[in-house]
Amino acid sequence: MLDRLIAVAPMLDWTDRHYRYFIRLLSRHTLLYTEMVTTGAILRGDRERLLAHDPAEYPLALQLGGSDPAELVRCARIAADWGYDEINLNVGCPSDRVQSGRFGACLMAEPDLVAACVAAMRAATDLPVTVKTRIGIDERDSYQELADFVRRVAAGGCMVFIVHARKAWLSGLSPKENREIPPLRYEVVHQLKRDFPELTIVLNGGLTTLEQVTEQLRQADGVMIGRAAYENPYLLAEVDRRFFGSSASPPNRHQVVRALLPYLEERLRAGTPLQCMTRPILGLFQGIPGARAWRRVLSERAWRQGAGVEVVEAALERVAETDRESQIAGATPGHDAGSTTRA
List residues with catalytic annotation.
93
The whole-angstrom separation of Cα 7 and Cα 236 is 10
3-class secondary-structure state, position 93: coil
- Identify the CA nearest to 131 among candidates 89, 172, 100: 89
CA dihedral 174, 178, 182, 187 (to 10 degrees): 170
Q: Is the preceding peptide bond at 59 cis, omega within 30 degrees of 0?
A: yes
Over its C-alpha atoms, the chain yields an Rg (Å, rounded) of: 21
- CB 122 within 8 Å of CB 129: yes
Residue 94: phi, psi to the nearest 5?
A: -100, 5
Q: How far is CA 142 from the centre of its chain?
A: 27
The whole-angstrom separation of Cα 290 and Cα 148 is 50
Q: How far is CA 133 from the centre of its chain?
A: 14
